[in-house]
């Protein structure tokens, strides 16, 4: 694995001799603008893994994306190679239908310490809740970013990440009531303690997430990528482009259906993703929205 290969992949050309906050912010944003959050391997007869060499070959050499344990594990390796002091953490994602957090850690994140301050990095949540930059670990502080206002809350043992969004304005009224549209303005994303976790901590849960018929990742094929003014997503056959408009406190949502014969072209043109194995899109009912 080669750090320069990763830098070439995300388009980073700056100095990296000093592990400071400015550099961390730069590579965090470049990562989410270049490497998609996607679960397409599950729908191509492939299996996701926590093997870093396989992840590097997939995300860096093969220009693919990945889900949290791929993107954030790769990012943890980048942090180590660049000399950052970091800790990998496990988080429980919030289930809006059950109004509670999942009972197991299913989302991997990293905590970075710089000059005595701690920051959360997460380059793989995807869609409208994707962090563009690290979040400073200050409880209750509003931290505005282009996707909205993020906020970390601490009750002593556990941290909770939430986000305040703007109203989503759907251009085509046919999609106004789509289950993919999240009408909540304040969203709880996940919670986490500061207990260090290694990648083996996630193996059993990740196997379940890519095999269980009830898993959102089995029920839906997902590919999303941040753009300079929003993000784009292909969920099943539904392609969406979201344009952030903070001046009017709203986001424009443009959605359309993609026929099977054009799916591969959309993946290549909009996400720079070329699949080797046969891809079967899925968009069944599940706890997932943009």
Q: Which residues are catalytic?
A: 68, 107, 122
Please tell me the distance from the alpha carbon of residue 74 to that of residue 56, in angstroms, as a whole number: 7
Residue 109's H or E segment, with its range, is strand 107-114
Q: Count H helices, E strands: the chain? A: 7, 15
Sign of the Cα pseudo-torsion (106, 94, 78, 34, in order): positive
> DSSP states of 82-107 as a string?
TT-EEEEEEEEEEETTTTEE-SS--E
Token readout for 219 is 């029920």
End-to-end CA, the chain: 33
Q: Taking a C-beta distance cutoff of 8 angstroms, is the pair 150, 163 a contact?
A: yes
Record the tokens describing residue 226, joined without a space. 């941040």
Judge whether 232 and 271 are in contact, CB under 8 Å.
yes
- Give the residue carrying structure tokens 């976790």: 197
Using only C-alpha atoms, what is the Rg of the chain? 18
- Residues whose CB is less than 8 angstroms from the CB of residue 136 and which lie 6 or more positions away in sequence, other chains included: 117, 118, 119, 143
The region, left, alpha or beta by phi > 0 then psi within -120 to 50, assigned to residue 181 is beta
Quick one: tokens of 176?
């106004």
């Amino acid at each position: 694995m080669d750090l320069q290969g990763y830098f070439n992949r995300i388009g980073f050309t700056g100095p990296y001799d000093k592990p400071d906050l400015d550099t961390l912010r730069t590579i965090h944003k470049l990562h989410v603008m270049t490497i998609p959050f996607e679960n397409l391997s599950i729908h191509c007869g492939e299996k996701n893994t926590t093997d870093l060499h396989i992840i590097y070959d997939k995300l860096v050499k093969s220009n693919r994306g990945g889900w949290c344990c791929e993107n954030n594990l790769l990012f943890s390796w980048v942090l180590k190679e660049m000399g950052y002091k970091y800790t990998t953490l496990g988080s429980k994602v919030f289930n809006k239908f059950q109004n509670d957090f999942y009972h197991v850690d299913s989302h991997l994140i990293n905590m970075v310490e710089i000059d005595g301050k701690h920051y959360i990095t997460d380059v793989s949540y995807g869609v409208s809740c994707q962090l563009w930059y690290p979040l400073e670990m200050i409880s209750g502080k509003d931290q505005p970013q282009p996707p909205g206002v993020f906020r970390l809350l601490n009750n002593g043992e556990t941290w909770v990440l939430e986000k305040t969004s703007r109203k989503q304005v759907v251009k085509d009224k046919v999609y106004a009531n789509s289950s993919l549209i999240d009408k909540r303005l304040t969203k709880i994303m996940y919670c986490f303690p500061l207990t260090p976790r290694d990648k083996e901590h996630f193996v059993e849960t990740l196997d379940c997430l890519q095999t269980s018929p009830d898993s959102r990742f089995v029920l839906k094929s997902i590919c999303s990528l941040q753009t300079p003014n929003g993000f784009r997503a292909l969920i099943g056959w539904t392609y969406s482009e979201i344009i952030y408009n903070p001046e009017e406190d709203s986001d424009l949502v443009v959605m359309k259906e993609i026929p099977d014969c054009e799916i591969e072209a959309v993946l290549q043109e909009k996400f720079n993703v070329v699949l080797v194995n046969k891809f079967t899109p899925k968009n069944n009912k599940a706890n997932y929205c943009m």
